[in-house]
A and B are shown apart, each in its own frame.
Chain A
Amino acid sequence: KQEVTQIPAALSVPEGENLVLNCSFTDSAIYNLQWFRQDPGKGLTSLLLIQSSQREQTSGRLNASLDKSSGRSTLYIAASQPGDSATYLCARRGRGGADGLTFGKGTHLIIQP
Chain B
Amino acid sequence: NAGVTQTPKFRVLKTGQSMTLLCAQDMNHEYMYWYRQDPGMGLRLIHYSVGEGTTAKGEVPDGYNVSRLKKQNFLLGLESAAPSQTSVYFCASKGSSYEQYFGPGTRLTVT
Closest partner residue, chain B, to A32 (CB atom)? B98
Q: How far is the CA of A5 from the CA of B35 in the complex (A)?
A: 18
By size class, the interface of chain B is: 20 to 34
When the two chains form the complex, which single residue of B43, B48, B102, B104 contacts A98, counting CB atoms closer than 8 Å? B48
Nearest B residue to A4 by beta-carbon distance? B42
**A66 interfacial by beta-carbon distance below 8 Å:** no
Q: How far is the CB of A91 from chain B (nearest CB, A)?
A: 8
Which interface class (under 10, 10 to 19, 20 to 34, 35 or more) fits A? Answer: 20 to 34
Chain A residues with Cβ below 8 Å from B45 are 99-102
Verify if A44 is at the interface (C-beta below 8 Å from B).
yes
Footprint of A on B, CB under 8 Å?
Answer: 31, 33, 35, 40-45, 48, 50, 56, 58, 90, 92, 98-105
Known contacts A89-B42, A99-B45, A103-B42; A44/B90 CB under 8 A: yes
Closest to B33 in A: A100
Q: Which of A58-91 contact B (CB under 8 A)?
A: 89, 91
Partner of B31, one of A45, A89, A98, A102: A98
Contact A99:B48 (CB < 8 A) given known A43-B90, A51-B98: yes
- Residues of chain A having any CB pair with chain B under 8 Å: 4, 32, 34, 36, 42-46, 49, 51, 89, 91, 93, 98-106
CA distance A91 to B90 in the complex (A): 15
Contacts of A104 in B (CB 8 A): 42
Leading 9 A-B pairs by shortest Cβ distance: A103-B42, A100-B45, A44-B102, A43-B104, A103-B43, A98-B50, A43-B102, A100-B33, A105-B42
